[in-house]
Amino acid sequence: MKPEMITLKHGDTTIKMPAASLAKLAVASVFAQVLPPAANVQPIYPHSVPELGAVWPGHGGFNGGLVAARGDVPEHYLIIAAKDAGSHEWGDRGIEVKGLSKTDGYTNTQVLIGNDDERKHPAADACAEYQADGHHDFYLPAAAELYHCWLNVPELFAKDTWYWSSTQRSAYYAFLMYFGVGVQGSLGKNLELRVRPVRRLFI
C-alpha cells in the first residue's frame, strides 16, 4: 500500500512528500516554538579538579593529590591547609596511645583528641581546631599521608623544619617528616614541631 502523498506549493517551488512525514515536521515545528532553544541548555561537565598544589576553591586549601582507597576509607583527594597551624608538642610522652595508624590520620586525630583523661595532644588539637572555607574537619596527617604530600606537593611545606604526623612510634616517640630532603624519622613527643592540617574530599 502506497503512502498518502501531499503536494505543497510555494511560488515556483513544489514539494511532494508522504502525509506522515509532513505530520512529523509539523509536530517538530510546534515543539521548536514552545521549548527553549538548545543553545540555552547548559552542558554538564565533570567536576573540575585543580592541578596538584593549586588552590581548590571552597575546600579549604590546596589539592594534595588523589589517595587510593584503603580499608574502610574510600578514594579521596587530600586537601592541604593553606598554612601551618603553628608549632606544638605531640604530647603524652611516656604513654602509648592505642589504636593509631600509619595511614589514617583522621582516625588517629579523633583518638588523640577524644581521650577522656586530662592528657593533651597539642599537635592533633591544633589541626582539629583549624577551619577554612567553612570546613571544620581538618586533622593531623598520618605518616603515610605526610609522605604522600612529599611525593606530590613538597613545595607547599617549609624545608627547614620537621612536621609532626599523627602516627606514634612508641610511648616516647612519634613519626615526623622533613620536607627538605624527604626524610621520615621519629623524635620525642615533648618537642614542639610544625603541624599542617589536612582534610579529605571524597569523590
* Rounded alpha-carbon distances, angstroms, from residue 179 to 81, 149, 158, 183: 16, 9, 7, 7
Mean of the pLDDT values across residues 141-151? 98
Per the rule left: phi > 0, alpha: psi between -120 and 50, beta: everything else, 191 is beta
pLDDT of residue 203: 85
Domains of the chain (ranges; CATH) run 5-40 (no CATH), 55-202 (3.10.100)
pLDDT-based confidence at 137, cuts 50/70/90?
very high
pLDDT of residue 119: 65
Helix, strand, coil percentages for the chain (3-state, nearest 5): 25, 30, 45
Chain mean pLDDT for the chain: 86
C-alpha torsion sign, points 132, 127, 78, 164 = positive
pLDDT of residue 1: 53
Between 37 and 169, name the one with better pLDDT: 169
